[in-house]
A and B are shown apart, each in its own frame.
Chain A
Amino acid sequence: MRNPWPSFVKFFVSLKLTVVLLALSIVLIFAATLDQVHLGVWAVQEKYFHSFFVLWKFGGVPVPVFPGGYFVGGLLLVNLVTAHICRFKFSWRKSGIWLTHAGLILLLIGQLLTGLWQRESQVQLNVGETKRYSEDFRLDELAVINATDPKFDDVVAIPESVLARGEPIQQPSLPFRIVTRLYYPNSVVQMRSQAPNAPPSPATMDIGTQLAVSPQPLTYKPDERNMPAACIELSGPDGSLGIWLVSTWLDAPQKFDYDGRTWQLVLRSKRYYTPYSLTLSQIKNDVFAGSDIPKNFSSSIHLHSDDTQDDRDALIYMNNPLRYRGLTYYQYQMNKAGGLSVLQVVHNPSWTIPYISCLMMAAGLIFQFVLHLNGFIRKRTAQVKT
């Protein structure tokens, strides 16, 4: 039996593979650029580049139709690495070139990891307010909260995508089943008194009975977000408990008692909790003298960690983020009149890789330059002597 290894290596080292992958990248970028008209920047990035395959839905079943950004980029990386290993012969005279290429490979890996691991969210804080979570820019979740304990909330967070599937949701810590009876990915909610012609609401509980909900077209604009709404039915062993209308339009959780416990239901932005809290002490907005042009925005933050290791103040302003336990807090938006500051929170475990790779490339190039310079000087000196 023939050993497949050489053909395996040959395939990945092949320059033809590089050409095919570059051609695929061109097609991918072209298609994504055209689709941006329909989907907007964010959705296009997710569909075409932050994916292994571009999926199309045929009858609700996702079918891969084209290799995605991760696939093409990943193979390009493998191609570059194997070619590097197989073709380059290491010698100290070429170690600079080797180091430079290694830096380039690391840069590519860093980009891939950033795409895979980076998560962006935001914290909105009023002056004096304390929060221990950030909220996703796009994703929403249905939080079913057991609020019986006076000190703690037990939260079951159901992603909107799970809710949208409409399948019954059974979670071990919940004494009831959740079934989505109606789901609009984008909606508008009105008081019934203001919408006399609205069809009857499926909701039978709480404020949902007074509200009319109607679907809206999905928005892909970068400065807007979809406001989903859903009617969810909770069913216990003795039958239905009722149907609630939940929507990101409704800020306050809806409360009910069941099984001797107090529950809350709220559809909200997906939350990422941290083992520490941030309190907004003060905000400052300086303008250039005699104008309304902003000069500086800054937020004074008090940081308190649960393990009491940290209890300190931090000042966040443009280009001076707070980096703490793997998260970076940037000054993002501010409403001085409303006493409100918004911080963008970036989780990117691979943030140091670009710095390291740049240093490696710089070191490699300097080494190679010095080596050549040295040789050149020696040659000239020898010529002068003769």
Chain B
Amino acid sequence: MTNYQLLTTQLQIPNHQPNAPVVWIEFCRNCLMISLPFMRPPLLALCAVALLASCRDEKIAAYRVPKETPSPATQVQPGGKTSDVTWILPAGWTTQPDQGGMRKGSFLVSGADGAKADMSVTAFPGDVGGDLANVNRWRGQVGLAPIDDAALAQAVQIIETPAGKFSFIELSGAGSASKPVRLLGAWLQQPDRRWFFKLMGDDALVTAQRDAFMSLLKSVSFAAAPAPVVAAPGQAQSTNDLPKNNATPLAPFAGVPMPDNGAAPDTGSPSAPPVALSWSAPANWQAKPLGTMRIGSFTMNSDEGEADISIIAFPGEAGGMLANINRWRGQLGLDPLAESDLAGATTALDGAGGLHFTVVDFAGRTGGAPTRMLGAILAFGGQTYFFKMTGPDALVAHGKTAFLDFLKTVKSP
């Protein structure tokens, strides 16, 4: 019996007119033929197949592939990130991931009994605060007290290599976990930037790897001139307009702009010092990815818009209080202050553990929209820390108490 016949037998309607049910059922049949095709066996089968196909799932695959041979590019340019420097990696050193995207090279050296040492290669514009600030930062990492210029001159050796004259320093101390650590650090000044090579880890292991470190330094070679840039490094330029829908940028990317925005590991890099401070953010601040400079990064959302909260640190005075405050004022379209105006424009805030903040609250405009900025500057441990909240005027004004309370949670270890 077909579905239709089944339907007609079930739908025996009281008939006042002999043809009425037939007409009605004929009408229903027509409707069913169009709107309820699922009643028909062939269509039911078709739907079942279609439904199964729509639930198709990816399967686990197992296969064998020839081992990948590292390309020449990856052998001499670890991570394939730069084309401006090459070196020969000592035997036994392995490339390790660089989550921060700041390192030009990142290696792990392993020794007996789980001993480990971390090698980083970084480069930053300018002289990055000078020799003394950088060496004192490294000394802090191995648990040594800062030194002065005279002691620095005694401690630094010059190493001649084909790439140029490296300044070299060797430090050993108790380390943070009371485990002897050793640091081999070398830097090379170029006209536009400074290169840092740092090997730090287990005292005995680093001592044993001293020759390997030196051989790496001697193998360093820089490209004669940077190649003309077609696209920003880390991002390739599209050469085809067709597949825009799938146009995915290269290098790390996520729901945030990423090329250099990853979290920086403790590279010993001058603009990303190890966080010597801790803090606790209010519940309505959401953490977001750190930039190359940031050591803390949050966002605060409400109906009034979105405010950005950043924490950065620089060695030394970072240009001084006035220059930085005027830089901030410039970002809001405000006129610079004179030295004499500084006292009136800032307030002092005493935080936990004797930390002393200089706080500013500026209202201006960015892109025509009323914008407010709360800023706090803190000098601590040879670094200057900058805390800043920027966003729509009303939102930042509402968030001011939370920002000031947040500053009070900032603690030194």
Contact = CB atoms under 8 A, between A and B. Distances in A.
Given A64-B54, A225-B254, A188 B237 contact: no
A339 B233 CA distance: 10
Interface string A109-141: 000000000001010101111101100011100
B5 interface: yes
Interface in B29-75: 33-35, 37, 40-43, 50-51, 53-55, 57-69, 71-74
Given A156-B60, A197-B279, A331 B239 contact: yes
A193 interface: yes
A7 B3 CA distance: 12
Contacts of B250: 124, 333, 335, 340, 342
Contact of B97 (A8, A17, A250): A250
Please name the 6 residue pairs, one residue from A and one from B, whose CB atoms are nearest each other, closest first.
A190-B263, A129-B71, A219-B255, A52-B50, A159-B58, A333-B236
Interface string A132-164: 110001110000000101111111111101100
A251 B63 CA distance: 21
Contact of A318 (B5, B239, B263): B239
Most chain A C-beta atoms within 10 Å of own C-beta, residue among B227, B235, B239: B239
A336 B230 contact: yes
Nearest to A254: B97
Interface string A335-361: 111111110100000000000000000
Nearest to A190: B263
Interface stretch (B280-288, B343-351, B354-362): B280-288
Nearest to B231: A335
B19 interface: no
A344 B72 CA distance: 23
A244 B9 CA distance: 65
A183 interface: no
B224 interface: no
A273 interface: yes
A100 interface: no
Interface residues of A, number: 103
Interface stretch (B126-134, B192-200, B241-249): B241-249
A95 B60 CA distance: 50
B34 A16 contact: yes
Contacts of A367: none
B239 A194 contact: no
B255 A224 contact: yes
Contacts of B288: 188
Given A130-B69, A188-B289, A273-B65, A334 B246 contact: no
B256 interface: yes
A190 B258 CA distance: 13
Nearest to B52: A52
B35 A190 contact: no
7 contacts: A154-B63, A197-B287, A222-B244, A222-B246, A222-B247, A294-B239, A338-B81
Interface of B: 1-2, 4-5, 33-35, 37, 40-43, 50-51, 53-55, 57-69, 71-74, 79-83, 95-97, 99-100, 226-231, 233-240, 242-250, 252-256, 262-266, 272, 274-275, 278-281, 287-290, 295
Nearest to A191: B265
Contact of B255 (A8, A150, A217, A338): A217
A150 B67 contact: yes
A157 B4 contact: no
State the majority secondary structure of interface residues on A.
Answer: mixed
Given A152-B65, A194-B265, A227-B253, A335 B40 contact: no
A189 B51 contact: no
A335 B237 contact: yes
Nearest to A1: B1
A252 interface: yes
Given A52-B54, A64-B51, 18 more contacts: A20-B35, A51-B54, A52-B53, A126-B73, A153-B64, A153-B68, A154-B64, A158-B60, A159-B60, A194-B290, A197-B278, A197-B279, A222-B245, A249-B252, A285-B230, A330-B243, A332-B239, A344-B243
A226 B81 CA distance: 21
Contacts of B236: 333-335, 338, 340-342
A157 B50 contact: no
Contact of B64 (A8, A152, A190, A216): A152
A333 to B, nearest CB: 4
Given A193-B266, A227-B253, A17 B226 contact: no
Interface in A4-22: 4, 7-8, 10-11, 14, 16-17, 20
A3 to B, nearest CB: 9
Contact of B79 (A157, A195, A221, A251): A251
Most chain B C-beta atoms within 10 Å of own C-beta, residue among A156, A273, A333: A333
Contacts of A342: 236, 250
B254 A219 contact: yes
Contact of B237 (A16, A273, A294): A294
A225 B37 contact: no
Contact of B33 (A2, A11, A41, A62): A11
Most chain A C-beta atoms within 10 Å of own C-beta, residue among B245, B254, B290: B254
A332 B238 contact: yes
Contact of A197 (B80, B248, B280): B280
A31 interface: no
A153 B277 CA distance: 45
B97 A251 contact: yes
B54 A225 contact: no
A344 B63 contact: no
Contacts of B263: 188-191, 194-195
A137 B246 contact: yes
A56 B59 CA distance: 22
Contacts of A122: 248
Contact of A194 (B43, B68, B79, B275): B275
Nearest to B55: A62
A339 B226 CA distance: 12
A161 B244 CA distance: 25
B355 to A, nearest CB: 15
A26 interface: no
B266 A191 contact: yes
